Amino acid sequence: MEAQDCALRPADVDLGSALPASARGRHAYTFSRENTSCGYAGVDTRYDWTAPESGTFVIDTAGSAYAVTLAVRRGPCEADEVSCDVNRNGSGYTSRAVVSLEAGERIRIVVDGGALRTLDHVVYIQRAASEDCSNGHDDDGDGALDCIDTDCAGAPACEPRACAAVDLGGEVPVALDGRTDDEHGRFPRSCDSGGFNPSRAHVFTPPRSGLYTLRAAAFPGSDTRVELSVLAGCGGPELACAASGWLPQEVQLELQAGVPILVVVRASYWSADVGGGWGSVYRLSITGPGA
Ligand SMILES: [Ca+2]
Ligand SMILES: [Ca+2]
């Protein structure tokens, strides 16, 4: 019965044959209608898209507010699935599919993602291309987005200053109170204590070579916990990562005078500090030689 029923399932959104095609939306249903081979069955949205020309196409979910399961099918049924991917939450990667299609071929895209109906997901379809380091999409479909992609190593668009919300300058000590407000998952990290991890990135230029101590703590009285990452550039490599429980996170690093670093603070839990949104207020400090 299932095989007959699924053939009649309509798309929620028909993206036509636009190229590139993009959609941003929230799940309209409160129950799971679809299963995928790589993710758990949560609430879902069905998209249809028709290839306007023959070629290889990349579909990604970059810009989604949470870890989205992306399944691609050559028809409406689970058995038609040709690709399934779920991004590693917060790693800076994106769910993606790479499919070769004939002109006029129609695919069904299922976005599946938990019960989070208050958060947006994004679907983007483009022709496979070499990686553009600053367009917010995984152009070559290798799962690594922009500066995360090793193809972008050394690119000006990936220097710390290019992605930092705050310039901490080049003097120590640094003491800053801030608020995590960036989209989740934008920066790579090797440590993670779960949650949705909205972040804020700072660029710091060490005034002298030597040992520096970087410390991030939840703002006094806050009910969240924080994580701290230090990166050499917007997509890495990572110099330090600290996400251990509820205590302030502290790392010590040998830094080189005049070579900027990216200091990323994340809030690892939902906090009332920002009115029920994702994120929290934090206190960041840096001390080093001469301070
Ligand atoms: Ca890529
Ligand atoms: Ca890109």
Cα 101 to ligand 1 centre (Å): 20
Looking at the domain 159-287, which fold is it? Jelly Rolls (2.60.120)
Of 158, 172, 177, the closest CA to residue 204 belongs to 172
30-57: pLDDT as tens digits: 888 999 999 777 889 999 999 999 999 9
> What does each C-alpha distance from 258 to 147, 173, 206, 235, 243 come to in angstroms?
22, 16, 6, 20, 27
For residue 122, give the 3-state DSSP assignment: strand
Burial of 285 (0-12, 13-18, 19+ CB in 10 A): middle
Q: What is the mean pLDDT of residues 97-115?
A: 91
Residue 220 is given by DSSP the state T
The class level of CATH for 2-151 reads mainly beta
pLDDT at 1: 42
Spell out the domain ranges in the chain.
2-151, 159-287
Token match 């949705």: residue?
196
Query: Average pLDDT, whole number, for the chain?
Result: 87
Banded model confidence at residue 270, pLDDT cuts 50, 70, 90 = low
Cα 190 to ligand 1 centre (Å): 19
Where is mean pLDDT largest: 148-152, 222-226, 272-276? 148-152
Cα 129 to ligand 1 centre (Å): 9
Q: Which ligand is nearest to the CA of 93?
A: 1
Contact between 92 and 148 under an 8 Å Cβ cutoff? The reply is yes
Q: Which ligand is nearest to the CA of 149?
A: 1
The whole-model pTM stands at 0.77
Q: Which ligand is nearest to the CA of 96?
A: 1
Residue 172 has pLDDT above 60, yes or no: yes
